[in-house]
């Protein structure tokens, strides 16, 4: 929902563009950080969800750390003023250059995903006269019941280290003098709305931490990753995820020793609902048995529908006509450039302004210039 003043502002601007409601972002962070405090948990914001300067600055000012998945994200987190001792770095394919960036930055920990990676981090850190703090990203073989392209914790996924490798990994770490094992890391997928998944994950973590304990390895940091989903269907009614239930389930199920710190890596849950992609209708054309509303925003601006069959709520902000069905499509030369099929919208005409909601996460960061299209700019509520 946008107020009249905001809508008037939209009318003066060239479309498409991203619009961010910073007061919603702050409200979300208020609730999130209050929950963290309650349990003395730590959070590292997943930069890949949205890396706009203004958004990073606000999140950093709330005291969150940064979760990075590339050397450039590590560099950006450092440049944006995130505390290096709160920066974590995951990824199955860290290049030597990226590892060196992170070593130079003295980050909190590398979330390591394979034995050869640990060996390379050890070599590079030895050469630089450093001691790298590493954590093991574990593949806990849990199905997050989310879209297969955003499931990361099943045994067939490329991410993490599986249980049958634990002995080899421990042997590798024992033979490496320039790395120290400080934690275990788990991230099983994204847009997880079934909180049972986090309960299952907590129980699996207890088991795995116990297994390391039995092998004589003390785990001081447990990182549960991100993945908490948001309500794409009813963003206005449900703008902030149920952080309270999420953390309370984990608090109840996850076993914690006094010497252990618990970490999270939220991305989508923090930034998705504060962003909308604002677009104008270029044409309405008749197809066979359907009407197409053709927008000036396309899959190059917001690729989630084409990439993950994701569905975003779409509002016509300038029509209150009779409801009709539309296929809402973009201008890009791909049939997958489609935001919705058979969607009920108030009668829609050329020039109408539409909002594609819940686009703050994995929206603008994934934008590209396919078809030589311009990148959509961003505007803020403040
Ligand atoms: C993407 C990612 C996250 C954030 O996931 P969300 O679903 O956006 O919360 C956290 N940790 C890692 C390692 C990731 O790759």
- Rounded Cα gap, residues 218 and 355, in angstroms: 50
How many Å lie between the centroid of ligand 1 and the Cα of residue 267? 6
Instruction: Determine contact, residues 325/291, Cβ cutoff 8 Å.
Output: yes
How many Å lie between the centroid of ligand 1 and the Cα of residue 176? 28
- Cβ–ligand 1 distance for 46 under 6 Å, the answer yes
pTM for the complete prediction? 0.96
Is residue 59 situated within a structural domain? no
**Mean per-residue pLDDT, 368-381:** 98
- Rounded Cα gap, residues 101 and 70, in angstroms: 10
For the chain, first and last CA: distance in Å? 16
Q: Say yes or no: 221 and 93 in one domain.
A: yes
- Cβ–ligand 1 distance for 147 under 6 Å, the answer no
Total domains in the chain come to: 2
Q: Say yes or no: 138 and 243 in one domain.
A: yes
Is residue 252 situated within a structural domain? yes
Q: Say yes or no: 345 and 295 in one domain.
A: yes
At 234-288, the pLDDT tens digits run 999 999 999 999 999 999 999 999 999 999 999 999 999 999 999 999 999 999 9
Assess whether pLDDT exceeds 90 at residue 376: yes
Q: Say yes or no: 355 and 240 in one domain.
A: no
**Mean per-residue pLDDT, 309-325:** 97
> What's the token pair of residue 37?
């405090």
At 95-109, the pLDDT tens digits run 999 999 999 999 999
**Mean per-residue pLDDT, 308-334:** 97
Q: pLDDT-based confidence at 223, cuts 50/70/90?
A: very high
Q: pLDDT-based confidence at 338, cuts 50/70/90?
A: very high
- Rounded Cα gap, residues 308 and 150, in angstroms: 8
**Mean per-residue pLDDT, 318-330:** 97
* Cα 93–Cα 192–Cα 222 angle in degrees, nearest 5: 60
**Mean per-residue pLDDT, 194-203:** 96
Nearest CA to ligand 1 atom 10: 226
How many Å lie between the centroid of ligand 1 and the Cα of residue 193? 14
Is residue 8 situated within a structural domain? yes
SS (H, E, C) 106-133: CCCEEEECCHHHHHHHHHHHHHCCCCEE
- Cβ–ligand 1 distance for 140 under 6 Å, the answer no
Domain with residue 279: its CATH number is: 2.40.37.10
**Mean per-residue pLDDT, 50-58:** 98
Q: Which atom of ligand 1 is nearest to the CA of 90?
A: 13
Assess whether pLDDT exceeds 90 at residue 56: yes
Q: Say yes or no: 131 and 220 in one domain.
A: yes
Burial class (CB in 10 A: 0-12, 13-18, 19+), 322: exposed
Q: Say yes or no: 326 and 285 in one domain.
A: yes
Q: CB atoms < 10 A from the CB of 8, how many?
A: 10
Q: Output phi, psi for 161, to 5 deg.
A: -115, 130
Q: Say yes or no: 81 and 211 in one domain.
A: yes
Q: Say yes or no: 93 and 143 in one domain.
A: yes
Q: Say yes or no: 209 and 258 in one domain.
A: yes
Q: Say yes or no: 249 and 291 in one domain.
A: no
Do β-strands 338-346 and 323-329 pair in parallel, antiparallel, or remain unpaired? antiparallel
Instruction: Determine contact, residues 285/349, Cβ cutoff 8 Å.
Output: no
Q: Which atom of ligand 1 is nearest to the CA of 192?
A: 7
Residues 6+ apart with CB under 8 A from 102: 68, 71, 74, 87, 89, 94, 110
Q: Say yes or no: 108 and 165 in one domain.
A: yes
Q: How many CA atoms lie within 13 A of 246 on its CB side?
A: 22
Closest by CA position to 375, among listed 304, 281, 302:
302
**For the ranges 31-40, 76-85, 186-195, 370-379, which has the lowest average pLDDT?**
186-195
Assess whether pLDDT exceeds 80 at residue 189: yes
How many Å lie between the centroid of ligand 1 and the Cα of residue 145? 15
Q: Output phi, psi for 236, to 5 deg.
A: -75, -40
Q: Say yes or no: 124 and 222 in one domain.
A: yes
Instruction: Calculate Rg over the CA atoms of the chain.
Output: 22
Confidence at residue 144, expressed as pLDDT on a 0 to 100 scale? 74
How many Å lie between the centroid of ligand 1 and the Cα of residue 179? 24
Domain of residue 354 covers 4-17+273-380
């Amino acid at each position: 929902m946008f107020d009249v003043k905001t809508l008037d502002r939209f009318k003066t601007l060239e479309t498409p563009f991203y619009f961010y409601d910073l007061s919603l972002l702050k409200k979300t962070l208020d609730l999130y950080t209050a929950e963290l405090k309650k349990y003395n948990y730590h959070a590292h914001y997943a930069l890949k969800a949205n890396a706009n300067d203004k958004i990073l600055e606000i999140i950093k000012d709330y005291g969150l750390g940064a979760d990075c998945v590339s050397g450039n994200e590590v560099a950006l987190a450092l440049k944006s003023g995130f505390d290096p001792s709160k920066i974590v770095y995951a990824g199955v394919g860290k290049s030597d250059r990226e590892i060196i960036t992170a070593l130079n930055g003295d980050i909190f920990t590398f979330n390591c995903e394979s034995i050869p990676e640990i060996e390379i981090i050890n070599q590079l850190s030895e050469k630089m006269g450093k001691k790298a703090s590493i954590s093991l990203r574990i593949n806990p073989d849990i199905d997050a019941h989310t879209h297969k392209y955003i499931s990361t914790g099943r045994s067939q996924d490329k991410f993490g280290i599986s249980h049958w490798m634990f002995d080899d990994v421990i042997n590798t770490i024992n033979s490496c003098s320039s790395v120290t094992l400080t934690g275990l890391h788990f991230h099983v997928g994204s847009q997880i709305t079934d909180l049972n998944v986090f309960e299952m994950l907590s129980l699996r973590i207890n088991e795995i931490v116990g297994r390391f304990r039995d092998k004589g390895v003390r785990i001081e940091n447990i990182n549960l990753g991100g993945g908490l989903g948001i309500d794409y269907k009813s963003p206005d009614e449900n703008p902030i995820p149920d952080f309270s239930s999420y953390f309370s389930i984990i608090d109840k199920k996850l076993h914690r020793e006094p010497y252990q710190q618990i970490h999270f890596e939220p991305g989508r849950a923090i930034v998705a609902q504060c962003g909308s992609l604002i677009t104008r209708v270029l044409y309405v054309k008749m197809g066979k048995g359907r009407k197409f509303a053709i927008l000036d925003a396309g899959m190059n601006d917001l690729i989630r529908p084409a990439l993950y069959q994701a569905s975003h709520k779409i509002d016509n902000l300038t029509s209150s006509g009779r409801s009709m069905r539309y296929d809402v499509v973009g201008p890009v030369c791909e049939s997958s450039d489609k935001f919705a099929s058979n969607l009920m919208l108030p009668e829609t005409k050329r020039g109408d302004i539409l909002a594609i909601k819940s686009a703050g996460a994995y929206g603008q960061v994934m934008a590209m210039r396919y078809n030589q299209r311009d990148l959509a700019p961003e505007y803020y509520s403040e």
